[in-house]
Every structure is written in structure tokens, then in C-alpha cells.
Amino acid sequence: MKNQEIELKLRLINEVDAALILEDDLFSSVKFMGTPMIHDFETTYYDTPDYRLMQAQCTYRIRKSGEYSIATVKDSGSSQGGLHVRNEWNVKLDQNLPDLVPFSNLPIGPKLSALAGEEELIPIFQTNFQRQVLEVVTEDGSLIELAVDQGNIISGEKKAPLAEVELELKNGQVVSLLELGALLAEKTPMILEEKSKYLRGLILSGLPVKEELTPAYTWDKKKDLQQTLREVMLFSLKEIINKQEIFLKAPEDPETAHQLRVEIRRLRALLSFLKPFFSQKEEKKLQDLLRKIAQKFGYLREIDVMLEGWEELGQSRPTLSLDNSALQKVLKEERKLTQLTVTQEISSGITTPILLEIWAELINLSFDEISVEDLKQRFQTLLLKMSKISKKTNYQVLAEVHALRIRGKKLRYAANTFGPVLRKKDKVLFSELKALQDALGQICDTHRNQELLRDLNEKYPSAALSFDSGVLSGWQQTELEEQVKKAKGFSLR
């Protein structure tokens, strides 16, 4: 009996695609084991009347298929970016009723008994679905169970559709699981599914599900440094996946797109910082993949930045009446159209194969011999280089300011991530790098806004828009000199 479950969940965008997943012509790099099996499952999830199992992150379910009833208990585990890792125990029941006795001699038995006590287990919701299942062997010999589920989650009178693909690693490498997921998502529109059927059932039932906040990555200096660096980057990738889900829930909130871009930049900065210590070919491939995602949000962020600038102008000049102005109306219309386009693209699963490919690449990443001293020296080298470039930068040329700004961002993200192992005097630079980035950001925004305003005036020509554009441009130009002075005044050595 297997005590740990490792599976990748992918939600189908279109339910009708469930019938197409197992077509042979979708695969060229895997081998099928047998033919697809079809099962009809009726699954009931149980808990005590006061939901003790739920509160302890423990799950009890009974799945009925034909004449058989299998009870399953899942203990606490992790769910990150659609990859679910949990402890699991299965026992066959003589009847379709909850019973804790068969689990008594298993590792979960004492905990289950302590949680439930003498309380009766009662049904809380059901999942009824048809599963097509097939075992697949990948090129490296990994054995993966490919299951396609289609049906419903049911709680009382409430019902929610269920259409997903589950890839469970039976034997072999996690990277093979991710690569197979990327292959499937390339052919069929899917989204990484962070929520298990159990969690979705709890939400449908209206139970107070506690949203777990992802803790910051904690450095363990006892760990192998190469392993730590790989974990840091995988953590960053999972934050990208998390921020993408948050964006899809609230695309109208400018901060959701901004935070997603921040996480993408963070991973790109880490890859750039560690560039000397692994293959440049791998680094370029990862950067290109991340750039594909980031570019989809570029124009949306530019619109949001200009809207923020317009609001800031209104706050600094309260005598001006900027609400419902021509520029504000145009920007909101552009925002609405751009948001719709971006949301439709991301919701279609276009980034899923890219994210899974990045995930697999990071797991396979092989570093050269590297030490903490190497990280410290790398930081010093980049800091010195940036300091020299900053003195030569022409702050009237957008390309030069932007290049310096990107260097500053990369250095700041690296300093923030590798802070636990950097020298104490380097840590003092965190706030200075942030302040420099803010100054350079405003300079870049001012230059870019001039270009964007010209484009908007060509697209929406009107005297009112032209006037508003002149007001914003003039105000930002007066602020520009102060920001240039701040940027020139920073010393990073």
C-alpha cells in the first residue's frame, strides 16, 4: 500500500475536451500500458459534526465503484501550484459506511482515533464523476497514472461541475510528471488546479475554509547550497503560479497584475544573478519562457501606471478637477479592453505549458561548484558594475535609464533573497536600492508616458484629451528634474 500521493492536477477549460485527452495521436514520447479503463465513482466525504478532521487538515472519504467501497484517509500535506503531495491510506470496506477500525493498525490510526473519538462521522458533501484512467510510461521509465475526471461536486441542492486531469506519479521522477503535464496542456487548454476536490467541496458547502498564506522561504544554512538555490527558485515559480490565480480572481484590481509581474521579475533576477554558476543555455531558455508570460501584462501595467500618475497629480493639485476627465475616461476604456484580452488569454490556459516547462527545467538545473563566498563576490561585482554605469547614464535617454533601472531591480531582488548569507554592510543597501529603483522608475514612467500619450491622442483625437495630456506631461516634467537629482545622488559603494 502506497502511503504518499504525488499528483499534478489540471483543470480543463472546456469540459468537452475530456473525451479527447486519451487519444493516441496526442503522444509521441510516452508508452501506454494497456487500454483506458472507465470507472463511475460515487464519493462521499465525512467529518465529525464539529468538523474536527477538517480543522486538523485530515480527510476521510468513501469512494464506491461498482460493488466495491474504498475508504481513504489523507493527512496534511502540501499543495503548491497544482502539485499535490500528501500522505494517503486506503482500505477496502465490507459495507458503504464510515468505519475507523480498519485504519487502527496504520500510521494514521492513532491520530484519526484521537480526532474523531466516539463521534459519529457524518456526510458533508459528495463527488460523482466518471474517470477514464490509463497508465503511461515516459522515456525515462517513470510510471504515471493519467486520469480524466468529469462529473459534479454536490452539496445539498448546490452543484459545481468537475472536469480535470490528474497525473499521479506511481514510480519515477517528478520532472517526468511535469513534462507530461506540459505536453497535455500544450495540446488541450488547461489551468493548474491548486484546489483539491475536497477543498472545492468544502467551499461549495459554505464551510469556513481558512486560506493558508504562503510563508516566505526560510534559509537553512545546514542544507547543501545547490539544493537551497534550486528550492529558492522553485519557491519563486510557485509564487508566480499563485499570483496568476489571484489575478484571474480580480483582474480589475491593478495590484494583482503588478504583483504577478513582480514575481516574474524576481525569478528572472535570481536566474540572472546565478548565471555564472550554471549553463548559459539553460539560463537563456528559462529567461525566454518567463519573458513570454511577462510580456502579456506589459501594456496593462503601463495603463495602470499612467492612471496612478493622473490620480497622484489630482492629490498634489487638489484645485484641479481631474475626475471624469477626458484622459481618465480614455485610460479606463483602454484598461477595460486590455484587461479583457489578457484575462481571456490567461484563462484559456496559454501559460500552463510554459509554467510546467519552467518547473521541470528548474528541477533539472545543475549548478557548478558554488559557495556562499561566491554569492557574496557576485553581489559585490554587480554592485560595482552598476555604480560605474550609473555615473555614465544619460538620464534624458529612456533606453539608458531603463537599463540602469533593470540592473537595480535585479540587484535588489538578489539582495533581498540572498540577504541571510550576504555581508552585514551589504544588507544596509536594501533600502538604498529600493529608493534608487523608485527614482529610476518615475524617470522611466515619465519618458514612457510621453510615448503612450502620443499613441492615445492618435487613437482618440480630441481637444480635451490633448489638453489633459499636456497637463500630465507638464507636471511630470517638473518632477523629472527632482528624480534625476535623487538618482544621481545615490552612492552604492
DSSP character string of 222-273: TS-HHHHHHHHHHHHHHHHHHHHHHHHH-TTSHHHHHHHHHHHHHHHHHHHH
Cβ contact 405:440 at 8 Å = yes
CA distance 100 to 104: 7
pLDDT digits (tens, 9 = 90+) for 334-345: 999 999 999 999
What are phi and psi for residue 68, nearest 5 degrees?
A: -100, 145
Name residues whose C-beta falls within 8 Å of residue 443's C-beta, 6 or more positions apart in sequence. Answer: 395, 401, 405, 480, 483, 484, 487
Total tally of structural domains belonging to the chain: 1
Burial call 465-486: b when 16+ CB within 10 Å, e when fewer: beebbebbeebbeebbeebbeb
Backbone angles phi, psi at 188, to 5 degrees: -130, 130
pLDDT at 1: 38
Listed in sequence order, the residues at least 6 apart from 326 whose beta carbon sits closer than 8 Å to its beta carbon are 462, 464, 465, 467, 468
Contacts of residue 492, defined as CB under 8 A and 6 or more positions apart, other chains included, come to: 383, 386, 387, 390, 429, 432, 433, 436
Q: Could you read off the pLDDT of 184-205 as tens digits, one per residue?
A: 999 899 999 988 899 999 999 9
Domain that holds residue 72: 4-204
Pairing of strands 83-93, 4-12: antiparallel
The pLDDT score that the predictor gives to residue 180 is 92
- In the 3-class helix/strand/coil scheme, how is 34-76 assigned residue by residue? EEEEEEEEEEEEEECCCCHHHHCCCEEEEEEECCEEEEEEEEE
390 located within any domain: no
Is 78 within a domain?
Answer: yes
Q: Does residue 349 lie within any of the structural domains?
A: no
> Which residue positions in the chain have pLDDT lower than 70?
1-3, 23-29, 32, 77-82, 210-216, 423-428, 489-493
Could you tell me the pTM of the whole model?
Answer: 0.89
- Residue 87 makes CB contacts below 8 A (sequence gap 6+) with 3, 4, 5, 74, 75, 76, 77, 107, 108
Q: Which residues contact 251 (CB under 8 A, 6 or more apart)?
A: 257, 339, 342, 343
CATH code of 176's domain: 2.40.320.10
CA angle 210, 258, 364 (to 5 degrees): 75
206-231 as b/e, with b when 16 or more CB fall inside 10 Å? ebeeeeeeeeebeeeeeeebbebbbb
Is residue 267 within 8 Å of residue 241, measured between CB atoms? no
In a domain, 213, yes or no: no
DSSP 422: S
Query: Residue 239 falls within a domain, yes or no?
Result: no
Q: Which long-range contacts (CB under 8 A, 24 or more apart) does 480-489 make?
A: 480/442, 480/443, 480/446, 483/439, 483/440, 483/442, 483/443, 483/446, 484/395, 484/439, 484/443, 486/435, 486/439, 487/390, 487/395, 487/436, 487/439, 487/440, 487/443, 488/390, 488/395
Q: Give the single-character DSSP code of 348.
A: T
In a domain, 217, yes or no: no
Domain assignment of residue 271, yes or no? no
> Do 461 and 417 meet the contact criterion of CB atoms below 8 Å apart?
no
Structure confidence at residue 27 (pLDDT): 62
In a domain, 426, yes or no: no
- The burial class, CB within 10 Å (0-12 / 13-18 / 19+), for 461 is exposed
